[in-house]
Amino acid sequence: MPKSEIAILDFGSQYTHLIARRVRELGVISRIYPNNVKAERLKNACGIILSGGPRSLVRDARLPFDKKIFTLSAPILGLCYGHQLMADFFGGRVESGKAREYGLAKLSVSASPIFSGVSKNTVVWMSHGDHVDKLPFGFTPIASTGNRSVAAMQNLSKKFFGFQFHPEVNHTKEGKKILANFILNICGAEKNWTTETMLDQIEKNIKKEAGGKNVFLLVSGGVDSTVCFALLRKVLGEKRVFGLHIDSGLMRLDETKKIIAALKRLGDNLRVYNAEKEFLSALKGVSDPEQKRKIIGDLFLDIVDKVMAEPAKGGSGRKKLTGDKWLVGQGTIYPDTIESGGTKNADVIKTHHNRVPRIKQMIAEGKIIEPIKDLYKDEVRAIGLKLGLPQKLINRHPFPGPGLAIRCLCSEGSNDAGSIVPDLVGAVEPTIWRLPIKSVGVQGDERSYAHPAVITGPLPLYKGEAGWGYYQSLSPKITNAHKDINRVLLLVSGDKKSLPKATLKKAYLTKKRLDLLRKIDDIADSAILTDKQCQKIWQMPTVLVPFGHKHGESIVLRPVESEEAMTVSFGVIPSPTLKKIIKKIHALNAVDFIFYDLTNKPPGTIEWE
């Protein structure tokens, strides 16, 4: 059998799955293995990639790996931590702190087959504190960013390469070309990964994992669970798949009605359960984001248990979840597992609601089936279209399982008002404020929980679209310069003179707050969905923050452009649409400030919590 696979050894990078996805985009099958996988298991690999990771070779113990991988005669590419690991292993030196680089960097490259067709001066994405300071034996440098670190190196006779930068993220301008050079030219991989082969593989897995069991699937109505529903029905047949939609009360305006209409077309085996009261009472008085997710994940399971114990039509009585006839199905996809620390060495950024401890326990007991857990959103969408699902449904913006609960920020309250931050970045006009609120972010593969900065002008609304370009370069400068700031907001509406008077109020999840958020979310979402110029916006959370001076509430608009949710650029809403949204929100007379989130990912995650 010809070697066909690219094996990725996972050292815990938030980008490990993104690397896998980039390989698959080239039509080549990629698989992720733990860092210490035995070399014998990689016999099918025509190439190996060592991922990055949050550990430091200088401060932490070296993560174990089988050194026989270097004798498999497969080309190897080390990225970030993987690059440093290779340098260290072959006798080079890794140092800490002296050449930190986060964000875009200019790279000049030398002649090498891995840079074939790449511009001599290009732009790459860096995210590292440690660096390779001395080359290992047998390697030559092949690129530089002008500082003392080895940005890229090769041992051409062995076909070993190392990059400090990340070719897998979109911000690396010619990253796809560089990876294609490695995978197709240097490794000689075959292009055999298509929607058809993917579908074939998934169908085989469903048959194998389900065996003779039926599946009880939680359908939120989003793309992922709908595709799962259709897939399971196709493979197991209508009678063996039971869909349960739980209306948690945390859904968007009229969401459940729309979901029922769409899903009923897929079949009748669907039950809708209204659990608004149960969810609101379980979440009463809770402000911690991780705690909210845990409560929501657990309550979903309690309700599954309850519904399964109810007698079915005809009175035969379904078996309880603990019986061996049923599996619980979930539409989990790759990013959900990776950001929950799903791979062994990764830092936990957020525990996704379908990775809470009780579900993990059920996974270990073989009670959960997740047919699309190895796929990215765009692969799920391709499969959905192949299965004949309507385009409109397939192209919906992603909506998180915990719903508006993670977009309705809660707080124990604080008397701290915003404070002015020293301008370390030469921002000419705007004053920079630090707000007392906190939100989750990701930087250098680690979780952050820090403050947003607010800049108060000049608005692109008045400066024209050119204003956005200014903020695109200002925003990363602010988050790089201030350690306690992981987001940058633009004040697009509200009296800036009132910012010093505004404080963080005590607030929890209540129906009143959720209803307000639902209304505002609907205003913002409908406006961007009907504006053709907003088609690049991949998702737009609208966040309610208990911060203000009169109403005690503010709104953050968080439009993002992304392909896969792992890296993100903030999206642009054209001024006429933005003005319309602002006007309609203010007409509700319920919020003090409207902010526009100008943060990329990293350093800010898409959702605030």
Which residues are catalytic, by number?
Answer: 80, 166, 168
> In terms of CB distance, is 51 or 599 closer to ligand XMP?
599
- Nearest distance in Å: CB 103, ligand XMP: 18
Long-range contacts (CB closer than 8 Å, 24 or more residues apart) made by 525-533: 525/252, 525/397, 527/573, 527/577, 527/580, 527/581, 527/584, 528/559, 528/573, 528/577, 531/573, 531/574, 531/577, 533/574, 533/577
- Nearest distance in Å: CB 244, ligand XMP: 16
- Nearest distance in Å: CB 435, ligand XMP: 19
β partners of residue 434: 419, 453
- Give CA separation, 367 vs 128, 213, 362, 402, in Å: 39, 10, 5, 22
Instruction: Please choose, from the candidates 407, 336, 342, 294, the residue with its C-alpha nearest in 3D space to the C-alpha of residue 565.
Output: 336
* CA-based radius of gyration for the chain: 25
309 burial via Cβ count (<10 Å: 0-12, 13-18, 19+): middle
What is the signed CA dihedral for 309, 310, 314, 316, rounded to 10 degrees? 20
Given a contact cutoff of 8 angstroms between Cβ atoms, the answer to whether 52 and 13 are in contact is yes
DSSP state of 120: S
> In terms of CB distance, is 19 or 94 closer to ligand XMP?
19
Would you say the C-alpha torsion 209, 214, 219, 221 has a positive or negative sign?
positive
338 burial via Cβ count (<10 Å: 0-12, 13-18, 19+): buried
How are beta strands 30-34 and 554-557 bridged, if at all?
Answer: unpaired
68 burial via Cβ count (<10 Å: 0-12, 13-18, 19+): exposed
- Nearest distance in Å: CB 459, ligand XMP: 26
- Nearest distance in Å: CB 402, ligand XMP: 5
DSSP state of 539: B
3-state DSSP helix/strand/coil percent for the chain, to nearest 5? 35, 25, 40
- Nearest distance in Å: CB 605, ligand XMP: 3
* Cα 479–Cα 481–Cα 487 angle in degrees, nearest 5: 15
> In terms of CB distance, is 186 or 606 closer to ligand XMP?
606
- Nearest distance in Å: CB 11, ligand XMP: 20
DSSP state letters, 356-413: SHHHHHHHHTT-EE-TTTT--HHHHHHHHHHTT--HHHHTSPP--TTGGGGTB--EEE
How are beta strands 270-274 and 45-50 bridged, if at all?
Answer: unpaired
- Helices 575-587/511-529 angle, 10° precision: 150
> In terms of CB distance, is 10 or 597 closer to ligand XMP?
597
Instruction: Please choose, from the candidates 108, 18, 124, the residue with its C-alpha nearest in 3D space to the C-alpha of residue 442.
Output: 18
> In terms of CB distance, is 193 or 334 closer to ligand XMP?
334
Phi and psi for 69 in degrees, rounded to 5?
A: -60, -25
Rounded Cα distance, 386 and 202, in Å:
13
- Nearest distance in Å: CB 537, ligand XMP: 12
In one-letter notation, the amino acid at residue 104 is L
How are beta strands 76-79 and 45-50 bridged, if at all?
Answer: parallel
> Applying CB under 6 A, which residues contact ligand XMP?
293, 335-336, 339, 350, 352-353, 398, 400-402, 539, 565, 601, 605-607
> In terms of CB distance, is 250 or 516 closer to ligand XMP?
250
Maximum Cα–Cα distance for the chain, whole Å? 75
What order of strands is seen across the sheet that includes strand 547-548? 411-417, 503-507, 547-548
- Nearest distance in Å: CB 536, ligand XMP: 15
> In terms of CB distance, is 63 or 393 closer to ligand XMP?
393
> In terms of CB distance, is 78 or 222 closer to ligand XMP?
222
> In terms of CB distance, is 174 or 564 closer to ligand XMP?
564
> In terms of CB distance, is 252 or 352 closer to ligand XMP?
352
- Nearest distance in Å: CB 399, ligand XMP: 7
Pull the structure tokens for residue 89: 């292993």
> In terms of CB distance, is 198 or 250 closer to ligand XMP?
250
Rounded Cα distance, 35 and 504, in Å:
44
Long-range contacts (CB closer than 8 Å, 24 or more residues apart) made by 336-341: 336/373, 337/373, 338/14, 338/16, 338/17, 338/566, 339/14, 339/442, 339/605
Given a contact cutoff of 8 angstroms between Cβ atoms, the answer to whether 294 and 282 are in contact is no
> In terms of CB distance, is 78 or 403 closer to ligand XMP?
403
In one-letter notation, the amino acid at residue 309 is A
- Nearest distance in Å: CB 352, ligand XMP: 4
- Nearest distance in Å: CB 562, ligand XMP: 8
